[in-house]
Amino acid sequence: FKLPVTCCFCFCCRQCNTFTNIHTYTQTYTSYVAREQVKGRTRMANVSKEIVEAFQRDGCVHIQSLLTEEEVNILKRGIEHNLAHPSHRALVASEKTDPGHFFEDFCNWSVNEDYNHIIKKSKIGPLAAALMNSQTARLFHDHVLVKEPGTQADTPWHQDQPYYNVVGNQNVSFWIPVDPVPKDTCLKLIAGTHKGPWYLPRTFKDKKAKWFQEGELPEAPDFDESIHKSLTWDLQSGDAVAFHMACVHSAPGVRRTSSSARRRAFSVRVLGDDMRYCARPWKTSPHIPELESYHDGAVLDLPVFPLLFPTQSD
């Protein structure tokens, strides 16, 4: 599909890239394997051919047990620390009249040791490479989303990528809950929408077009789930929904008021081989100031975007 004409970018042929010999990336008839040997320790994501094909076809898949029980507990600790010590990027996405509370924060991996551990030491890097059919996987940013019990705020249908200043097709977001999430409070995704078009990004609370101008992109329709293929799942702690940044999705509020209804989720957004910087005349969400001096088509290889697969060291 065609990206908006305001996007300036270039793609590099994979054959032009050079890679270290510390990793392998192979496709077999039954599975895709991303494997890395780091100081005698192997990190590997062995994901079925069907899962990779589903991700490529639908733009979203359910990943069971992405994190171990120990990793879930580490991530819970990181989220609670983030809630107690929000960054200057943190925001409340629910109205003051909402009986619940919807908290978001971004880009904290470099100051939150638990986030750093999950992003760099779990299977996220090699799994992302496998899903994207990419030789590399590089962190774009992290995003925590906490909807407390009783939160009425719904997240409307939208795509993530139009809010960003990156272009390309090889990308994946992991939405990882640390609480069990039943279908009625889980993400909903519209299969195949990652293939285009892009829809006009708006602010969630007041519906303003702060990025692309009014009319520059089509409005996101109110997708009729009886017509469009809508995907959602019952998730356990440590499961994940992996989805393309251009896949249309929404999320309901958490209207149950019991403490067990709390929904803490951590998103990790990952870039593959063909992703490039695209300059925007506006402040993107999230704003990443390190990119302000970058030029169109540049590879995002700054320290703020660490390589998750392959890596050179622990």
pLDDT digits (tens, 9 = 90+) for 23-66: 333 333 345 566 655 444 445 567 899 999 999 999 999 999 99
Element (H or E) spanning 84, and its range? helix 69-84
For the chain, give the longest Cα–Cα distance: 56
Cβ of 2: how many Cβ atoms within 10 Å? 8
How far apart, in whole angstroms, are the C-alpha atoms of residue 80 and residue 69? 17
- The answer on pLDDT for 67 being more than 80 is yes
Give the pLDDT of residue 301. 93
Give the pLDDT of residue 6. 34
Give the pLDDT of residue 28. 36
Residues 6+ apart with CB under 8 A from 179: 237, 260, 262, 263, 264
How far apart, in whole angstroms, are the C-alpha atoms of residue 57 and residue 304? 31
Strand order in the sheet with 23-27: 23-27, 31-38, 41-48
For residue 120, give the 3-state DSSP assignment: helix
What is the mean pLDDT of the segment spanning 275-281? 93
The string of DSSP letters for 196-207 reads: S-------TTT-
Question: Residue 295 has which token pair?
Answer: 């030029």
Give the pLDDT of residue 256. 83
Q: Are 310 and 18 in contact, with CB atoms under 8 Å apart?
A: no
Preceding amide of 310 cis, omega within 30: yes
End-to-end CA distance of the chain: 39
* Amino acid symbol at 27: Q
Give Cα separations from 112 to 18, 81, 105 (angstroms). Answer: 32, 8, 12
Q: Are 242 and 131 in contact, with CB atoms under 8 Å apart?
A: yes
What mean pLDDT value characterizes the chain? 86
How far apart, in whole angstroms, are the C-alpha atoms of residue 190 and residue 228? 7
Range with the poorest average pLDDT among 33-42, 83-92, 176-185, 223-232: 33-42
Q: How confident is residue 312, by pLDDT bands cut at 50, 70 and 90?
A: low
Q: pLDDT tens across 139-171, in order?
A: 999 999 999 999 998 899 999 999 999 999 999
Q: pLDDT tens across 79-129, in order?
A: 999 999 999 999 998 999 999 999 999 999 999 999 999 999 999 999 999
Q: Are 253 and 153 in contact, with CB atoms under 8 Å apart?
A: yes
pTM for this structure?
0.86
